[in-house]
Amino acid sequence: MAAGADVIVAQGWEAGGHVRGAVTTLALVPAVVDAVSPTPVVAAGGIADGRGVAAALALGASGVWIGTRFVASTEAFAHPEFKQRVVEANTDDTFHTTLFDRGWANAPHRALRNSTIEMWEQAGRPPSGQRPREGEVVAQLA
């Protein structure tokens, strides 16, 4: 706070990006709010609808940061099938892995489960270039 931060982002373990901590958003937000008051706190991680927004605000957050949920928006350039998987995903369809930690070593990243990622996890998370079937063409677009 001494550096003059205008806002603090409290990102919980549920976040879709790289996460180093292991505390859930709902546990983290009130602790951060209490620690940095009166500086505004923005809650992030696992917030995908109005109920999540309401919960974060009830815990003292001044706002929310919604990220992954917007990948399914019309404006996002993600593949339509990926967008659909994000929308349909439940709590068992994602997990944390270090397979995608380029530039941030050993930082877990939330990913959707699929057969390729499961294969790489079972192979012991080999580095890029050594993963089973890596680089194999699985489909071609006309």
Tens of pLDDT, residue by residue over 48-61, are 899 999 999 999 99
> Hey, which of 15-19, 100-104, 126-130 has the most confident mean pLDDT?
126-130
Write down all domains in the chain, each with its CATH number in brackets.
8-122 (3.20.20.70)
CA torsion 72-86-43-14 (nearest 10°) is -160
- The percentage of residues in the chain with a pLDDT greater than 70, rounded to a whole number, is 99
Give tens-digit pLDDT for 2-32: 788 999 999 999 988 777 788 999 999 999 9
